[in-house]
Amino acid sequence: MNKRSLKDLLYEQVARIGKSLASPKRLELVELLAQGEKSVETLASQAGIDMRLASAHLKALREARLVETRREGKYIYYRLSGQDVSQLWVALREVAEEHLVELRVALEQIAAQPGTLVSESRESLLEKARQGEVVVIDVRPASEFNAGHLPFARSLPLDELEQRLADLPADRTIVAYCRGPFCLMSDEAVQLLRARGFTAMKISDGVSEWAAVGLPIETSAE
């Protein structure tokens, strides 16, 4: 093989990753899988697509070796093939936010409510949670919390939040988070908590963003 052919082959192999991610729904599936292993049925439901389309997208990701599978009875479960895939998603999103004004405008709409976002550093928030000065709640499904969550966070899934308000102290700030900057569950949680008289804010980070900068992630036994 001559040098030109070899170089073409190298770029072609890297391009397989880019091609596999060149779909909004595949990016969403990667973000969902960054929360933990999920069945095809769960992924289809959470991504708002039918099973056939979900399977086709997952096949493309698997062909690029970005996801792996296991079978349990009649169900097929998918997971990311490595933590680096989650980091790739975070890096790709951050580059897009840096260079695409349209994305920044859309994100500003999410953060439009004054005082909703926690502005301090991750390290400062971690220390406040450690000291009990704030209460951090994870409003994702419990299975995602078990797979990985921020240190000192409590699992309080959004669909259980209103029934479990008594679990939260009324005299401390509640800080909610979910799957990352594109996730709206934490916004809903903050709105609900404030309507019930709590001091509540959110952070845009999810576990992927936390892990991408080398901060600790904890897991829980189911």
Task: Answer yes or no: 178 catalytic.
Answer: yes
Which one, of 121, 124, 132, lies nearest residue 173 by Cα? Answer: 132
Residue 123, token pair as written in the block: 């390290």
CB 78 within 8 A of CB 43: yes
CA–CA separation, 181 and 89 (whole Å): 12
Three-state SS for 187-218 is: HHHHHHHHHCCCCEEECCCCHHHHHHCCCCCE
Which one, of 47, 36, 138, lies nearest residue 77 by Cα? Answer: 36
Q: Pick the catalytic residue from 33, 129, 178, 207.
A: 178
Active site residues: 178
